[in-house]
A and B are shown apart, each in its own frame.
Chain A
Amino acid sequence: MTATTATVKRQRTWAWPAVTKTILLPVSLLFALGLAAQGSGNSGYFLVPGEAKAGMKTFFDKGCIRCHAVMGEGGRSAPDLGRAPAGYLSASEIVAAMWNHAPQMWTKMQQQKVAPPSFSASEMANLFAFLYSVRSMDEPGDAERGRQLFSAKRCGECHQRGARTAPRAPDLSQWASYRNPVSWIQAMWNHAPAMQALMEARGYSWPEFQGSDVADLLAYVRTQVTSRGPHLYLRPASPDAGKTLFTAKGCANCHTLHGSDRAGVPDLGTRSLPRTLGQFAAQMWNHSPTMWVSMKAQNIPRPQFSNKEMADLVAYLFAERYFEASGNSGRGRRMFEVKGCGSCHVPGGSGSGPDLSSWQGRVSPVRLATSMWNHGPVMLGRMQEQQMPWPVFQTGEMVDLMEHLNRGLAERQPARARR
């Protein structure tokens, strides 16, 4: 069973376990703007549960910006939500992060005499879309570190004006106007075999990049811009087109999405893939030689991508990754008991908290986050009165809990393997 959402036309409420995987959630900045129109148009193919730009407005209007920054814009007294935590977060993990840190937040707001704002479901959906979008962006990059990398990885021995090696590789300053890591993914993908052959001929090893390496390198290359012409950006991409390309270009022959790894070929829907585009570029680069060998062995031609095609493809992958596979209701049920939820949220309504049985089939990350945020301070107060600790959820636990709630609190089905 997979976790995704439904089109507006088909089903207006969330049914976490019930829907199929054919529908995508466009939340990344890559395509948020492009799909906002699609989502509200007549195609009905994409549901847009959140719109990133509107989410940013919510972030400002509700005062989140006073304490939290995003990508360096905003307050300094709370973590920058565009960067922290450093790893990738799916929708349910964003809920878990909010949940885990909520008491601290509320306490701080109380100290500052700020009333916690309330959110409607649509506002929360927009907020999620916004946070997911900004988290896919790379930080500006450290040009000085990029310069050091450029030298340490010996890029300059070929890619520099006046490089003496022949045949000469392109002077990267010519590309300094390219502002988007996707443009570099495309260039690297298309030219990697030629580059690899050249490097092998010269006895160079294939350099690998980690963490913010690519962002830093790009920051350095941008400082080398020689043209005074405009910078070259990419337009919002279409994951719909990316989905078609994923098959047409043959990616689907080897890679799966939310499936299982095939003989060492990574599943591109898993959360283990990096958070940002720059990190994604680094990963493609690092694996290029292996991939190329494998493709040659299987007699698979290496597809070429235009800038737009690569953007569409990456948009598709990033959209797809927003969803993880559904949780395990058995683990979720245990979680419900172990974390102490069941002591208040008793079926039938006899507990001090509301009966969550009525949530069956309607639990989504956004709904859970909205309820938790709006009612959380009251819940926290009651728990403190009863000297109950605020439960903390680890990676994957929240999605299991949601699965359990979606199946109904009374369910006693045996747990199925989630992944």
Chain B
Amino acid sequence: MSPKPNRREFLGIVGGGALGVATSGVTLKGLSTLNAAIASEEVHVPRGPEAWSLSVCSLCPAGCGLRVRTIGKRAVKIQGNPLHPVNRGGLCPRGLAGLQVLYHPDRLRAPQQNVGSREAPRWKEISWEEAMETLTRHLRELRERNQAHSVVWVDGRYGHLRHRLFRKFFDAYGSPNCLHTGTGLEAARAALYLQQGATEGVAYELEHTRYLLSFSANVLEGWGSPVSNMRAFGSWRDAEAGRRTKFVQIEPRMSLTAARADEWVALRPGTEAALALGIAYVLITEGLCDTRFLAEHTFGFEDWRDASGRSHMGFRSLVLSEYRLNQVAAITQVPLETILRLAREFAGNRPALAIGGPQCPTTPGDVYGAMAVHSLNALVGSLEVPGGALVRPDLPQGSHGPHPANTEREPGGTNHARESVIRVEESLLPWPDVSRLPQVLLSRKPYPVQAMLIHGADPVFSLPNGEEFARALEAVPFVVSFASFLDDTAAHADLILPDHTDLEKWQESASPPTFAFPLQSISPPVVAPVHQTRDAAEVLLRVARAMGGEMAEALPYSTAEEFLRSQVAGIFAAQTGYSFSTSLEETWNRMSERAGWWAPTFSSAQELWEEIRLRGGWWEPTYSYGEWNRALRTRSGRFEFYSQRLAEWTVSHPEFVRAGGFEPGDDRLCLPHQLRLPEPPEGFPFLLLPVEVLPLAGGTGAEIPYLQQIAGPHVFEHWESWLEMNPETAKKLGVEDGEWIWVESPRGRGRARLRLFEGARPGVVHLPLGYGRTQGSRWACRGVNPLRLVASEPYSPAGVARALPTFVRVYV
């Protein structure tokens, strides 16, 4: 039985909460708590000239443009940059909280050296000279011992040009291990790769779609760019322009996104793939597909024969035989009539778009489910059309040439390539999965890791196998963290070189996930560093200079600014795009480009640089639809319902086949399908689904009081973990709203306050992500980390870690 929450009541609560947050200003507990904490340090009103500067928010992957007001040397207010194409002046609560990061009383104020042990660290503040000497010495020694390849860099920051710098550094140094944690959209990205062969970001043109089927994509709470999505959401209801896009949210829980959608379809958890295939069933049987698109641009829709003459099952046969409406209704617990109606609406309102699942870096999701959802776009021809699913073009390359990568100089003078510590060649997907690192570190295969440098990431806290990651770090002789706060991972380091926060350094950011246009934001520092911190990019540049030789040659930049300028020169050389401008100019530029004219306001790299400083960045606002050679790069050159990459890979990976419960050669392995749903084990009757709330999106932000204060307005809860449970379930269990309650899985247990929530499905409980840190600020270490309870599949050979359905018991 599906829950029947009071939608009006829910919206009132959420809206009221948000309004309260927006209007309450300094009376919030979050602000007053912070003010109290820093009162002894800042007791006077800042004085001096007022100024406004631009910056970029890096508290989530969206990279919204900021406009920061300063008085004297102090930043006092953050707004959105109205010229920034992603947020156009808007900001989410996380962006507004940037000042609390900058002036946070618990920031690391200088380099720290662990003079104790890994088990019992004792931190000693050291000078930057000492810290740099230590870092350089270690890296130099490893390189001299031909161990450069054994250095691993793990990056979790969302910038783009900095990644180029880091990669350039490690290429020159001789390490192939420049790794990056995901954005949480890895399942959708994997589907794009397997079905379209594209490795760039998956993009959706939400603004122009006429019908949106969202399969658990938290569109308004942290998926892609929440602010950009909110703008699209507003445009869907533009009566003056005669537009009305229908937005259907399909997910088990009534999230804020579901509450604001035109329709919420509550389905059984984990059955998104089945529902998508049920909708496909209707599209196929009722003749609602785009037959021309299927004929010209797809592969594997019909049954087919390979070169050896062996016949294979196509998508149509699979759907017609295994996803009949009554079967799908039984699996998903969505009424048959609803599935039928959704399919007809989806086909009847073009361009229609299907997206999913959630964007959650900690629990990236199910690749087959993402393939099933993306297949709906192909069925109605919504690829490469306005309002459809697109493949974002790459950013123009920088001006620097390629560097001899991944090589080490042997004593004899020959260079030879070194394999990455996470062998991408063995993975289904062409990017390394950082969650496999613990396995690599502990097994010391393919080789022992001698040093690990971690920047902008907290894998011990945020990976489902974080505890294992912590244990694995013990096997690494030298661990360096660039954390601004002492976090769960930094606590295992030997050396902490605290990075500047956003407003203290040259900031940059590329297109957010799901954004269709290449974009590069760049902004200078807004204020001088508050503490003795340094930009990690400049730390590496100093190391390169200190090491000299080809390292210094490869990175001939004395500052991050110089490097960024060189990259802007590369953008200029591509002779495309514009500096950020108003919406009106954007429309003008787009119309001009469609007619074949490019009229930039800059005529040299220097002018472009100046404009970027003034406006916040550069972007290319025109998308070229239907460039099939770019958008479809599979072996067949078509959209593959039947992934030939999967077919090729499963042959050599029988363990993957067995894990899916299939026999080798089963065609379903290469087609989108519904994974088997496990039954609850004895004594664990409730399904635990962690939820991501916007203030703590990506499981980050708990150190910021303002975000703690607004974490759960829909259940009037904040500052502590809460457990959402349907009132019906609570009644049967005999527990009451507000009680402190234990949640226990086979992996562990934690205590949270019970909140009755009609948006929760009976038999399912929810814990918010982002709580339960063991290190960090005075406000971060509270609540339960759901990732310590959930079962996971961190070593998925597919290359995308996924959280498995986890069953728990609940008791007082």
Which residues does chain A contribute within 8 Å of B590, judged by CB atoms?
A: 73
A71 and B588 within 8 A (CB): no
B597 and A30 within 8 A (CB): yes
Which residues does chain B contribute within 8 Å of A71, judged by CB atoms?
A: 591, 594
Residue A225 contacts which of B240, B396, B575, B627 (CB distance < 8 angstroms)? B627
A399 at the interface (CB under 8 A from B): no
Which residues does chain A contribute within 8 Å of B574, judged by CB atoms?
A: 230
B595 and A66 within 8 A (CB): no
Assuming A222-B627, A228-B393, A230-B574, is B597 touching A70 (CB within 8 A)? no
B48 at the interface (CB under 8 A from A): no
A73 and B626 within 8 A (CB): no
Least CB distance, A118 to chain B, in whole angstroms: 20
Assuming A57-B584, A222-B627, A230-B396, is B597 touching A29 (CB within 8 A)? yes
Which residues does chain A contribute within 8 Å of B106, judged by CB atoms?
A: none
Residue B242 contacts which of A76, A136, A180 (CB distance < 8 angstroms)? A76
Least CB distance, A55 to chain B, in whole angstroms: 10
Least CB distance, A36 to chain B, in whole angstroms: 10
Least CB distance, A278 to chain B, in whole angstroms: 9
Q: How far, in angstroms, from A30 to B598 measured CA to CA in the complex?
A: 10
Which residues does chain A contribute within 8 Å of B242, judged by CB atoms?
A: 75-77
Assuming A57-B584, A73-B587, A230-B396, is B624 touching A222 (CB within 8 A)? yes
Contact with B along A169-183 (1 / 0, CB 8 A): 000010010111111
Least CB separation from A34: chain B residue = B599
Residue A228 contacts which of B576, B587, B630 (CB distance < 8 angstroms)? B630
B394 at the interface (CB under 8 A from A): yes
B629 at the interface (CB under 8 A from A): yes
Which residues does chain B contribute within 8 Å of A74, judged by CB atoms?
A: 241
A60 at the interface (CB under 8 A from B): yes
Q: How far, in angstroms, from A75 to B243 measured CA to CA in the complex?
A: 9
Which residues does chain B contribute within 8 Å of A369, judged by CB atoms?
A: none
Which residues does chain A contribute within 8 Å of B292, judged by CB atoms?
A: 144
Q: How far, in angstroms, from A30 to B597 measured CA to CA in the complex?
A: 7
Contact with B along A46-87 (1 / 0, CB 8 A): 000000010011001000001000110111110000000000
B394 and A56 within 8 A (CB): no
Contact with A along B614-648 (1 / 0, CB 8 A): 00000000001011111000000000000000000
Residue B591 contacts which of A134, A178, A179, A225 (CB distance < 8 angstroms)? A134
B597 and A73 within 8 A (CB): no
Assuming A66-B240, A230-B574, is B629 touching A224 (CB within 8 A)? yes
B587 and A223 within 8 A (CB): no
Least CB separation from B242: chain A residue = A76
B629 and A226 within 8 A (CB): yes
B606 at the interface (CB under 8 A from A): no
A234 and B598 within 8 A (CB): yes
Least CB separation from A66: chain B residue = B240
Contact with B along A141-163 (1 / 0, CB 8 A): 00110000000000000000000
| Number of B residues, CB within 8 Å of A | 30
Assuming A56-B584, A230-B396, A230-B576, is B596 touching A225 (CB within 8 A)? no
Which residues does chain B contribute within 8 Å of A168, judged by CB atoms?
A: none
B592 at the interface (CB under 8 A from A): yes
B396 and A56 within 8 A (CB): no
B717 at the interface (CB under 8 A from A): no
A211 at the interface (CB under 8 A from B): no
Least CB distance, B85 to chain A, in whole angstroms: 16
Which residues does chain A contribute within 8 Å of B598, judged by CB atoms?
A: 233-235
Assuming A74-B241, A225-B629, is B596 touching A234 (CB within 8 A)? yes
Q: How far, in angstroms, from A167 to B240 measured CA to CA in the complex?
A: 57
Q: How far, in angstroms, from A179 to B624 measured CA to CA in the complex?
A: 10
Assuming A57-B584, A225-B630, is B591 touching A233 (CB within 8 A)? no
Which residues does chain B contribute within 8 Å of A223, judged by CB atoms?
A: 626-628
Least CB separation from B600: chain A residue = A235
Residue B597 contacts which of A173, A180, A219, A224 (CB distance < 8 angstroms)? A180
Assuming A73-B587, A75-B241, A230-B575, is B595 touching A138 (CB within 8 A)? yes
Which residues does chain B contribute within 8 Å of A77, judged by CB atoms?
A: 242
Least CB distance, B36 to chain A, in whole angstroms: 48
Least CB separation from A180: chain B residue = B596
Q: How far, in angstroms, from A11 to B626 measured CA to CA in the complex?
A: 51
Q: How far, in angstroms, from A140 to B593 measured CA to CA in the complex?
A: 10
A101 at the interface (CB under 8 A from B): no
A236 and B396 within 8 A (CB): no
Contact with A along B561-600 (1 / 0, CB 8 A): 0000000000000111000000011011011111111110
Least CB distance, A379 to chain B, in whole angstroms: 28
Least CB distance, A180 to chain B, in whole angstroms: 3
Least CB separation from A143: chain B residue = B626
Q: How far, in angstroms, from A224 to B627 measured CA to CA in the complex?
A: 6
Which residues does chain A contribute within 8 Å of B240, judged by CB atoms?
A: 66, 75
Least CB distance, A136 to chain B, in whole angstroms: 8
Residues of A172-217 at the interface with B, using a CB-CB cut-off of 8 Å, are 173, 176, 178-183
Least CB distance, B420 to chain A, in whole angstroms: 24
Least CB separation from A56: chain B residue = B588
A317 at the interface (CB under 8 A from B): no
Assuming A74-B241, A225-B629, is B597 touching A234 (CB within 8 A)? yes
Least CB distance, B577 to chain A, in whole angstroms: 9
Which residues does chain B contribute within 8 Å of A33, judged by CB atoms?
A: 599
Which residues does chain A contribute within 8 Å of B593, judged by CB atoms?
A: 179, 231, 233
A181 and B596 within 8 A (CB): yes
Q: How far, in angstroms, from A222 to B630 measured CA to CA in the complex?
A: 11
Contact with B along A98-139 (1 / 0, CB 8 A): 000000000000000000000000000000000000101110
B591 and A137 within 8 A (CB): yes
A231 and B576 within 8 A (CB): yes
Which residues does chain B contribute within 8 Å of A225, judged by CB atoms?
A: 624, 627, 629-630
Least CB separation from A63: chain B residue = B240
Least CB distance, A219 to chain B, in whole angstroms: 8
B629 and A233 within 8 A (CB): no
Least CB separation from B596: chain A residue = A180
Least CB distance, B748 to chain A, in whole angstroms: 47
Least CB separation from A144: chain B residue = B292
Which residues does chain A contribute within 8 Å of B585, judged by CB atoms?
A: 53
A180 and B576 within 8 A (CB): no
A277 at the interface (CB under 8 A from B): yes
Q: How far, in angstroms, from A176 to B626 measured CA to CA in the complex?
A: 12
Which residues does chain A contribute within 8 Å of B629, judged by CB atoms?
A: 173, 224-226
Least CB distance, B233 to chain A, in whole angstroms: 20
Q: How far, in angstroms, from A236 to B596 measured CA to CA in the complex?
A: 10
Q: How far, in angstroms, from A212 to B216 measured CA to CA in the complex?
A: 43
Q: How far, in angstroms, from A53 to B576 measured CA to CA in the complex?
A: 19
A137 and B630 within 8 A (CB): no
A236 and B595 within 8 A (CB): no
A231 and B584 within 8 A (CB): no
Q: How far, in angstroms, from A181 to B596 measured CA to CA in the complex?
A: 7
Interface centre among A56, A136, A176, A231 (most CB of B within 10 A): A231
Assuming A75-B240, A76-B241, A230-B576, is B597 touching A235 (CB within 8 A)? yes
A53 and B624 within 8 A (CB): no
Least CB separation from A61: chain B residue = B584
Contact with A along B336-371 (1 / 0, CB 8 A): 000000000000000000000000000000000000
Q: Which residues of A approach B to under 8 Å, CB–CB?
A: 29-30, 33-34, 53, 56-57, 60, 66, 70-71, 73-77, 134, 136-138, 140, 143-144, 173, 176, 178-183, 219, 222-226, 228, 230-231, 233-236, 277
Counting from the closest, the 5 A-B pairs by CB-CB distance are A180-B596, A233-B598, A137-B595, A33-B599, A179-B596
Q: Could you pull out 19 A-B pairs where Cβ atoms are within 8 angstroms?
A: A56-B584, A56-B588, A66-B241, A70-B591, A137-B591, A137-B594, A138-B595, A140-B594, A144-B292, A179-B593, A181-B596, A222-B627, A225-B627, A230-B396, A230-B575, A234-B598, A236-B597, A277-B595, A277-B596
Q: Which residues of B approach A to under 8 Å, CB–CB?
A: 240-242, 292, 393-394, 396, 574-576, 584-585, 587-588, 590-599, 624, 626-630
User: Assuming A134-B591, A225-B624, A235-B597, what are 12 further A-B pairs, CB within 8 angstroms?
Assistant: A53-B588, A56-B588, A71-B594, A73-B587, A76-B242, A137-B591, A143-B626, A173-B629, A219-B626, A231-B576, A233-B596, A235-B599
